Structures are given as structure tokens and as C-alpha cells.
């Protein structure tokens, strides 16, 4: 720019599409997690029921949504948040040793499931402005297009679905 030589120039903005393809440390961790636990689009991935498994589930979800399915960063961000909430509930409230993560894609939709051995149903609670916990299912309800719980002979699957634009 004329007259501004030597002045720091604003960084060029990179589009969200371009930015999501830049390799990062998170990509390496996600690839390691997929290698270690498996791909939840092919079969259910079983993760240990520990708080640190939420980070693994988030990485796997982000990798699948952005890299494998090539969906938008915003959709990936919402899916990662909702997976984190469902995994948090499975870890905190079920007493399970492991939980399962499964991700499905069909025309116009993605579906993400978290399975645990408890038959206790999650409860959507009213949320107040100053609440510091209990917002998980509220977020699932607001950010997903559909969600629910399927009771199984041993346990349950809590799931959410989001609409996607097929190309």
C-alpha cells in the first residue's frame, strides 16, 4: 500500500474452507485416535469411560466431519460440541467402563450416537442464565435438528441428527 512501507500490514484472511485443510497437531492426534480406536463411520468405536476420552471423541468427530465427509467448519464445530456433551453425560452419569461412538451419514443428514450400558434416561432440564451445569441436553436440543434416546436390552443409545447440504 502506498505510503505504508515498513508498517505492519494486516494478515490475509484465509477462507474457512482453505483453513480446514491445513495440517495441524490436532490432525495428528485425530489420526492417532482413529488408528488406535477405529473409525466410527465403519463400526462403533469403544472408548474408556474417563473424562479424557471426551477429547478423543471430539478429535475423531472433527476429523470425520471435516476430512472424511468434507462438511462445513460450522457444522463440525456444532457436532464436536454436541459429542462432547453426550460423552460427558455417559462418563459422569452411567458408571460405565466404556462407551460407544458411532457416526452415520445418509443423504441430507448426519447422525452421531453415543451408547452406554445404563438404561437411565437423560432429562432435558430448564436452563437459567446463571446455571453453571445442566446445559448439555439444552445445547443438543438447540443445535441439532433431531435427537433422542433408543433403549437397548442392555443400555441405551443417545443420538442427534443434523441436516447437511449434499453437493
Domain ranges for the chain, please list them.
25-163
Nearest CA to 65 out of 25, 108, 110, 35 is that of 110
Q: Are 79 and 141 a contacting pair, CB within 8 Å?
A: no
Residue 30 has pLDDT above 90, yes or no: no
Q: How far apart are CA 116 and CA 11, in angstroms?
A: 46
Which pLDDT belongs to residue 4? 41
Which pLDDT belongs to residue 9? 41
25-163 to CATH, choices 3.40.50.300, 3.40.50.10140, 3.30.565.10, 1.10.10.10: 3.30.565.10
**Mean pLDDT computed over every residue of the chain:** 85
Which pLDDT belongs to residue 8? 46
Residue owning grid cell 469403544? 46
Q: How far apart are CA 59 and CA 70, in angstroms?
A: 15
Which pLDDT belongs to residue 124? 82
Residue 17 has pLDDT above 80, yes or no: no
Which pLDDT belongs to residue 3? 46
Q: How far apart are CA 137 and CA 151, in angstroms?
A: 17
Average pLDDT over residues 68-81: 96
pLDDT tens figures, 77-117: 999 999 999 999 999 888 889 999 999 999 999 999 999 99
All three cell numbers of 83, joined, read 459429542
Proportion of the chain above pLDDT 70, given as a percent: 81
Best-predicted range by mean pLDDT (1-5, 7-11, 84-88, 122-126): 84-88
Amino acid at each position: 500500500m502506498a505510503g505504508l512501507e515498513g508498517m505492519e500490514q494486516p494478515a490475509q484472511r484465509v477462507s474457512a474452507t482453505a483453513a480446514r485443510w491445513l495440517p495441524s497437531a490436532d490432525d495428528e492426534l485425530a489420526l492417532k485416535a482413529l488408528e488406535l480406536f477405529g473409525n466410527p463411520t465403519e463400526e462403533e468405536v469403544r472408548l474408556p469411560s474417563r473424562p479424557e476420552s471426551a477429547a478423543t471423541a471430539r478429535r475423531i468427530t472433527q476429523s470425520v466431519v471435516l476430512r472424511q465427509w468434507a462438511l462445513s467448519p460450522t457444522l463440525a464445530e456444532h457436532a464436536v460440541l454436541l459429542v462432547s456433551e453426550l460423552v460427558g453425560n455417559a462418563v459422569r452419569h452411567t458408571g460405565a467402563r466404556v462407551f460407544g461412538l458411532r457416526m452415520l451419514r445418509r443423504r441430507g443428514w448426519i447422525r452421531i450416537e453415543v451408547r452406554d450400558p445404563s438404561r437411565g434416561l437423560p432429562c432435558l432440564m430448564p436452563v437459567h442464565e446463571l446455571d453453571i451445569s445442566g446445559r448439555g441436553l439444552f445445547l443438543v436440543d438447540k443445535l441439532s435438528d433431531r435427537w433422542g434416546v433408543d433403549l437397548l436390552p442392555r443400555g441405551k443409545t443417545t443420538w442427534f441428527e443434523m441436516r447437511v447440504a449434499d453437493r
